[in-house]
Amino acid sequence: MYSKEVMKHFQEPHNMGEIKNPDGIGKVGNPMCGDLMEVYIKVKKNIITDIKVKTFGCVAAIATSSMITDLAKGKSLEEAKKITRDQVAKSLKGLPKIKMHCSNLAAEGLYKAIENYQKKTK
């Protein structure tokens, strides 16, 4: 059911955990299936220098959490905000149709973490 890439990220997800004193936090929940995600970022000179994530959810939720950290790390805030759910899914070599909402959650979590940082620094 899942692609090899999804399974790889699920078995050994990248950047899991939290960051002490993060610059931004994004907490999101999925009202469809009940999954939860928390995204933590560190920002230096407008660049995401570190990102960590905690996930309560299925294989797809964990894999997309892991993928979003890979995609966002080292990117400027503007670039990171542009990461779409389709990009997350594509980088994972596809997700089952019914699991597409998981990639939405990951992209939304990142977006919220960036917003949280930008609000604080305004």
Partner 1 sequence: MKYKEVYLDNGATTKTDSKVLEVMKPWFCKNYGNSSSLHKKGIHSKETLEKSRSIIAKRINALPEEIIFTTGGSESNNLAIKGVAQIHKTGHIITSKIEHPSVIETCKFLRKQGFEITFLDVNKDGFINLKQLENSITKRTILVTIMHANNEIGTIQPIEKIGKLCKEKQVLFHTDAVQSFTKEKIDVKKANIDLMSLSAHKIHGPKGVGALYKKKSVNIEKQIHGGHQEQNLRAGTENIAGIVGFTKAVQLAKEEHIKKMTELRDMLISNIQQEIPDTKLNGSREKRLCNNVNISFKYVEGEGVLIHLDLKGIAVSTGSACSSQNLKPSHVLMAIGLRHDIAHGSLRFTLSRFTTKKDIDYVVKNLKEIIKNLRKISPLQKNYKYSVGVKDKSYW
Binding site for partner 1 (CB under 8 A): 2, 7, 10-11, 13, 16-17, 27, 29-38, 53-62, 98, 101
Nearer to partner 1 by Cβ, of 18 and 76: the residue is 18
| Catalytic choice (16, 19, 25, 33) | 33
58 is catalytic: no
Contacts of 59 (CB under 8 A, 6+ apart): 2, 6, 7, 10
Backbone angles phi, psi at 68, to 5 degrees: -65, -35
State the minimum distance, in angstroms, from the CB of residue 46 to partner 1.
27
| Catalytic choice (41, 43, 77, 102) | 102
Nearer to partner 1 by Cβ, of 33 and 47: the residue is 33
What's the longest Cα–Cα distance across the chain?
44
- DSSP run (H or E) holding 53: strand 47-56
Integer Cα distance of 82 and 96 in angstroms? 23
Report, as residue numbers or ranges, the catalytic residues: 33, 102
